[in-house]
Chain A
Amino acid sequence: MTEALVVEGLSKSFGRHEVLRGIDLTVAEHEVVALIGASGSGKSTLLRCINLLEPIDAGRIFLGGEELTRRHDVNVVRRRIGIVFQAFNLFPHMSVLRNVTLAPRDVLGLSKREAEERAKALLDRFGLAEKSDEYPDRLSGGQQQRVAIVRALAMQPELMLFDEVTSALDPELVSEVLAVIGELAAGGMTMVIATHEMSFARDIADQVCFLDEGRILEQGPPLEIFSAPREPRTQQFLQRIIEAKRL
C-alpha cells in the first residue's frame, strides 16, 4: 500500500480555542476516508489545514511522501489537492465554463482550447454539458455543487477533500451530488470526506474516523465503527444519529 496522505500530530488553535489536538491520519492511494463527528469537532478545520488554507500550529503533513508543511510555495501544494466546500463557493460573475477553466488556464498555463476541452469532457461526464454557459446563480444547489466538484477535478488533483458538501442542499438534491462522489470513488480517486450522511459514509468509505473535540477518537472500517463502536462517545454520537433517523 502506497501512502497518499500522512498527517502527523496536527494541532490548530483559533485564539485560545483548540480546534485540533494532535491529529494522526494516514490515507492510502485510492482510499476513501470519511470523517464523522458532531459540528465543531474539527472536521472542516482538518480539511482546511491539509489544503494549507489554515496555517497550522504544530505537526506535519505529507502528500505522496513530500512534506507539504515545509514547502514555501503553497500555491504548488494547492494545485495538487482539490477541495469542495459546503457552500459551493462558485465564482458568481463567471459562467460555469469559465469557473472550471480559470485555474487550469491561470495556474497550469493551459491554452484556452486545452482548458475548455478538459472542462467540457468533465462537465459532460457529470451531466452538466448543457449548463456550461449558464451563470451559477441560475443553477440548482445540486448542479452548483457538481460544478464545484468539476472545477476542483479540472486541476487533476492527487487528492480530493470534501467538506460537508451536501449540508447546504435541499434533501432531494443530495443524491445527485453523492452519486458524483461515488463515481469518483469507483474511479480510484483518493478522498477525505467530512460528512453528516452516515449511510453514505458507511457505503463509500474504506475507513471511518470519528472526531471528537479535535481528536480522532476512533478509527476503523465502516462496519466496525457503525455496528460495534468501542468508545462511549462514538456510541452516544451514533445513538443520536439513529434517533434522528439519519442512519
Chain B
Amino acid sequence: MAGEGDRRADLEVERRSRLLDGLRSGGDGRRSVVIALVSTFVFFGVVFFAITNAPGWPQVRSQFFNWQEFKSSMPEIARAFLLNVKIFTIAEVFILIFALFLAVLRSLPGPVFFPLRALAIVYTDLFRGIPTILVIAMLGFGAPALGLSYVPRSVVFWGIVSLVLIYSAYVSEVYRSGIESIHPSQEAAARSLGLSRWQTLRRVILPQAVRRVVPPLLNDFIGLQKDTALVGTLGAVEAFQQSQIDTNATFNFTAYLCAAILFVAITIPLARFTDWLILRDRRRRQAGGATL
C-alpha cells in the first residue's frame, strides 16, 4: 500500500504550489514576513520611480492611463465584451464534445481503425499548426463569400466555428493524455468482467481520464477566452474591436486598457478556480490515504 513516503511527497508538492510558503518554512516567521514586505516595497518602488521619471511618462500617462477616457469608453466596451462571453461560452460547449470525440477516435486500438486514427492525427496536426487568426480569416471571409443560401453569413458564427475547430485539436490532445494516463490494469479489470471495449471506455476509462485533465482543460479555456478577440478582425464588434473604434476616434489608447482589464477580470477567477480544483483533488487523495 501507499507508504509514508508517498504522503510526504504529496505534502511537498502541495507546499511548492503555495505562493507564500517561503515565508512559513523560514523558521522565524515574523522576520521572513518583514523581509518579504521590505523587498517587495523596494522592488516596486524602484520600478515605479523609474517609470514615472522617464522623459516620456507624462505623454504615456495621458495616452494610456487617461481617467476621463477610461470612464467614457468603459461602458461601451463592457457591452461589447458580452459578445466575447457569448462566443467562448458557446465555443466551449462544442469543444468539449468534439474534442472528446477526436480523442476517442485516436485511442481506438487495432488495425481496423487505422483510417479513423490517421484522420484524427491529421486533424490535430493541421489545426494546431495553422495560426488561429488565419483560420478565422479564411472561414470568416471565405465561407460567407460562397453565397450559398444555407451557409450562415454571420461572422460571429464563423468565428465560433473557427475557434471550435482549433481549440478542439488542442483539447483532444489533453483528453488523450488523460486517457493514456489511466493504467492498463484498469482496462484489464473491466474487460475481465465481460465489459465490452466501449463499455470499458465509457464506464471506467473516460470518467477517470476526464477528472485528471480538468486543470489543463481549464488552462486551454483561458487561452480560448483571450482568442475571442480575434473574431473582432472579422468586423464583429467585440471588446477588442470596440476599443479599436474608440482609439481611432479619440487618438487615445486608454480604451485598450479597458478591454485588457475586462479580459483579465474573467481569466483570473478561472485560473484560481483551476488551482483550487487541483488542490482539492490532492487533499481528497490524501484523506483517502492509500493510493494505488
Contact = CB atoms under 8 A, between A and B. Distances in A.
A89 B188 contact: yes
Interface residues of B, number: 24
A170 B3 CA distance: 11
A78 B208 contact: no
B189 A91 contact: yes
Contacts of A89: 185-186, 188-189
Interface in A86-107: 87-93, 102-103, 106-107
A112 B196 CA distance: 19
A124 to B, nearest CB: 21
B193 A91 contact: no
Interface in A59-95: 74-76, 78-79, 81-83, 85, 87-93
A140 interface: yes
Contact of B204 (A75, A91, A139): A91
B275 to A, nearest CB: 22
A152 interface: yes
Interface of A: 48, 51, 53, 74-76, 78-79, 81-83, 85, 87-93, 102-103, 106-108, 135, 137-141, 144, 151-152, 155, 168, 170
30 contacts: A75-B194, A76-B194, A78-B192, A79-B194, A85-B188, A87-B292, A89-B186, A90-B189, A91-B189, A91-B190, A91-B203, A92-B208, A93-B207, A102-B193, A102-B195, A103-B194, A106-B199, A106-B203, A107-B194, A107-B199, A137-B292, A138-B289, A139-B290, A140-B290, A141-B290, A141-B292, A151-B193, A152-B192, A155-B193, A170-B1
Q: Which 10 A-B pairs have the closest CB atoms?
A: A79-B194, A137-B288, A89-B189, A103-B193, A107-B194, A78-B194, A83-B192, A89-B185, A141-B1, A138-B288
